Structure 1
Amino acid sequence: MALVSEFLGQLTLGFGGKEARFPTVVPAANFDPEKDASWIDTAIKTKGVEEHIIIDILTKRTYAQRREIALEYERKAKKDIITALKGALSGSLENVILGLMRSTVQYDAFELRASMKGLGTDEESLIEIVCSRTNEELLEIKKTYREMFKKELEKDVAGDTSGDFAKLLLALVQAKRDEPSNIVDYEKIDSDARALYEAGVKRKGTDVATWITIFSERSVPHLQKVFERYKSYSPYDMKESIQKEVKGDLEKSFLTLVECFENKQLYFASKLNDAMKGKGVKEKVVNRIVVSRCEVDLLKIRKQFKKQFGKSLFATIVEHTRGDYQRALLNLCGGDD
């Protein structure tokens, strides 16, 4: 069956090695995939479906453990777990649970494909994923995208976007960013800061190509110093300069990059806060961040959320969501702060 080959072919994929992980979902102790698979089978077959059992098992296991459960389920039930879950669940809960049945890199690849498939483009998803992932993550996403969809990510991005926005995304997807160095090159920091100023605020019309090169090729620690140095040339900081010089999706992309370079977890915390403001919840945004970051850095995102907004992510989810969907998100959130 398709799921078996997909899972067996899925290697444990890294996320850059150099970045420490702060997951909220960690391996379950005394893990028994056969027992979990049996419980899920019973929950699905029960009249009315026992969603809470499915939720409490799959949101409290890592992807590696969910993969084992899926294989056991297939062996026992003689059908793949994805098909069974699709038949048993619906709405936002279904989206969260099915998202968890993919590895983090598979999930990113799937979300990128969904953002460009069919009529119209979901630029928000495209910008968030491409602008926030590391070189290593982007290389893995490209490889997985090719395996899952038999398409090249670069070609799909080029076909679905245009102008300078397309050029920036394609430069990022090429994953040519310098690796961090122990040597601080003050001359290059000054040169890049001056180049950003002269390509933007100093002149009439923006030399976007220069901005794209510097933003997509320099290491993150280098760019943090460049943005600090930039203030000695420009009357505006980098974010203010972006807002003055470019508009639309290009502006959003450059701003996302700056925010991620400065504090990636704060960027995600702010996105979650914005998605749960007011009456309606932007469930797609909440799902994407919680599912994609729960085995990466959601613990740090939680801390940033509380620090920045004075209220825990857990309490915010309780306030803005309901029922089984809420239960799933709270389990993935991993606790209150």
Structure 2
Amino acid sequence: MPPSQGTAGTEGKAGTRPGPEAAGARCPPRVGLARPPGEARAAGPRRDLLPLRCCLAPASLGAPGGSGRRGGRLGLGPTRRIPEMAKYTRGTVTAFAPFDARADAEALRKAMKGLGTDEETVLTILTTRNNAQRQEIASAFKTLFGRDLVDDLKSELTGKFETLMVSLMRPAYIFDAHALKHAIKGAGTNEKVLTEILASRTPAEVQNIKQVYQQEYEADLEDKITGETSGHFQRLLVVLLQGNRDPDAGVDEALVEQDAQVLFRAGELKWGTDEEKFITILGTRSVSHLRRVFDKYMTISGFQIEETIDRETSGDLEKLLLAVVKCIRSVPAYFAETLYYSMKGAGTDDDTLIRVMVSRSEVDLLDIRQEFRKNFAKSLYQMIQKDTSGDYRKALLLLCGGDDD
């Protein structure tokens, strides 16, 4: 079981809190806590959920031998299909043209055959084809050579470069499902991965991740997560897992006022914190509604909602609530910040760097690059160049798609 979630309980994180009469006299909020509430989110609502064009044999993305075993398998059964990601236009990786799956498969086989490996060919092909094309290459590879492309990649490559190349071969929802499975597998729980994925995915994406998780691992994702988490952190995760956030269909100003007042009374005006009010409102209201609530909350309290969350909660619940708020304001800004802190300081959080670069490369990485440059006075490209090396760096830079300076 994970460590204590550290929720505020009845005392919150603050010491002595002024009464309601002092609310209007508070100091202005700290600068730079969040993106402006009105800023549009680049990753818009999903428009289609079409099946992948090709349906791979079980071994084409899984363990050696193609036995079709479940558990840690990455592939699909011969008659099962998974939903495809919605068609976004703000990714750095798009469909390659002219595309020839057989020619790419032959080039990859030549690059990995015999002594030594031509890593340059491998990384160039896999980072410049979109995921659907990579699946066609994997199918052609098996048809032409009777070999599993992912198995060959694992055999011929090593380290972080291997992890990145294998990650690129996972279809999008399998990628998320695999990350969640490993976040709750074994001793300890990786709360960072649960927070990042469930706070940032749309309701439709969450539903598809749950479906794919059930198909791939014959297990219920919600059951697995509730078995490894606890407290208010667990409750907010469960709310997000329902994928039932209200649709964006106009804003009711009366409800905006009501929700802002409820949050104010549940936090700043209360000795202790009513976490359930924060969980319900932040986990179920629509994006456009919550942006207006954040504006109204600032007017009522004199504080940004992030400041209140910081004072009133702690531990994993605080991190999850803040991630939800940041994603409501701007998903690209949230991921720009995530990437920045994965490389800031001594050492690099390569797992986070790979996870974000792969998962957003066909979604909104262009917008993430813009937010990165705006908020951190340097480009994502330059920071990757400084913090990584070798073929791993070359592949990440190709996924990044260019320098913004």
- Per-residue CA shift, 1:24-60, capped at 9, x if unaligned? 0011111111110011111111412111111000111
Structure 2 SS opposite 1:179:
coil
When the two chains are superposed, the root-mean-square deviation of aligned CA atoms in Å is 1.4
Aligned mate of 1:93, from 161, 178, 193: 161
**5 Å matches for 1:254-293?**
254-293=321-360
Once residues 244 and 307 of structure 1 are traced to their aligned partners in structure 2, the CA distance between those partners, rounded to angstroms, is: 27
Once residues 310 and 370 of structure 2 are traced to their aligned partners in structure 1, the CA distance between those partners, rounded to angstroms, is: 28
Q: Report the TM-score, using the length of structure 2 for normalisation.
A: 0.80
Aligned mate of 1:72, from 109, 122, 140: 140
Code of the aligned partner of 1:120: G
Q: In 1, are the aligned partners of 2:83 and 2:208 still within 8 Å (CA)?
A: no
Q: Residue 231 of structure 1: CA displacement?
A: 1.6
Whether 1:3 aligns to 2:73 is no
Q: Which residue of 2 aligns with 1:136?
A: 204
Q: Which residue of 1 aligns with 2:369?
A: 302
Once residues 28 and 320 of structure 1 are traced to their aligned partners in structure 2, the CA distance between those partners, rounded to angstroms, is: 28
Once residues 225 and 202 of structure 1 are traced to their aligned partners in structure 2, the CA distance between those partners, rounded to angstroms, is: 20
How many residues align? The count is 333
Q: Which residue of 2 aligns with 1:236?
A: 303
Structure 1 SS opposite 2:128:
coil
Structure 2 SS opposite 1:233:
helix
Code of the aligned partner of 2:358: V
Q: In 2, are the aligned partners of 1:7 and 1:67 still within 8 Å (CA)?
A: no
Q: Residue 11 of structure 1: CA displacement?
A: 4.1
Distance 1:36 1:300, change over 3 A: same
**5 Å matches for 1:241-256?**
241-256=308-323
Q: Which moved more, 1:193-202 or 1:233-242?
A: 233-242
Q: In 1, are the aligned partners of 2:198 and 2:241 still within 8 Å (CA)?
A: yes
- Per-residue CA shift, 1:149-173, capped at 9, x if unaligned? 1111100110010010000000100
Unpaired runs of 5+ residues, structure 2, are 1-56, 61-74
Q: Which residue of 2 aligns with 1:328?
A: 395
- Per-residue CA shift, 1:45-90, capped at 9, x if unaligned? 1412111111000111011100110011001121211111111111
Once residues 55 and 46 of structure 1 are traced to their aligned partners in structure 2, the CA distance between those partners, rounded to angstroms, is: 18
Aligned mate of 2:270, from 203, 206, 217: 203
Unpaired runs of 5+ residues, structure 1, are none
Q: In 2, are the aligned partners of 1:21 and 1:296 still within 8 Å (CA)?
A: yes
Q: Which residue of 1 aligns with 2:245?
A: 177
- Work out which structure has the larger RCO, using CA pairs closer than 8 Å and 6 or more positions apart in sequence: 2
Q: Which residue of 2 aligns with 1:61?
A: 129
Say which one has the larger Rg.
Answer: 2
Q: Identify, as 1 or 2, the structure richer in helix.
A: 1
Distance 1:10 1:93, change over 3 A: farther
Q: Which residue of 2 aligns with 1:168?
A: 236
Q: Which residue of 2 aligns with 1:13?
A: 84
Q: Which residue of 2 aligns with 1:50?
A: 118
Q: In 2, are the aligned partners of 1:145 and 1:151 still within 8 Å (CA)?
A: yes
- Per-residue CA shift, 1:281-307, capped at 9, x if unaligned? 111110010000001111110111111
Structure 2 SS opposite 1:70:
helix
Once residues 55 and 237 of structure 1 are traced to their aligned partners in structure 2, the CA distance between those partners, rounded to angstroms, is: 44
Structure 2 SS opposite 1:13:
coil
Once residues 12 and 245 of structure 1 are traced to their aligned partners in structure 2, the CA distance between those partners, rounded to angstroms, is: 39
- Runs of 4+ in structure 1 over 3 Å off: 7-12
- Per-residue CA shift, 1:211-245, capped at 9, x if unaligned? 11101110011000001101222242200100111
Code of the aligned partner of 2:58: A
Once residues 397 and 114 of structure 2 are traced to their aligned partners in structure 1, the CA distance between those partners, rounded to angstroms, is: 24
Aligned mate of 1:214, from 242, 267, 281: 281
Code of the aligned partner of 1:10: R
Structure 2 SS opposite 1:82:
helix
Q: Residue 7 of structure 1: CA displacement?
A: 7.7
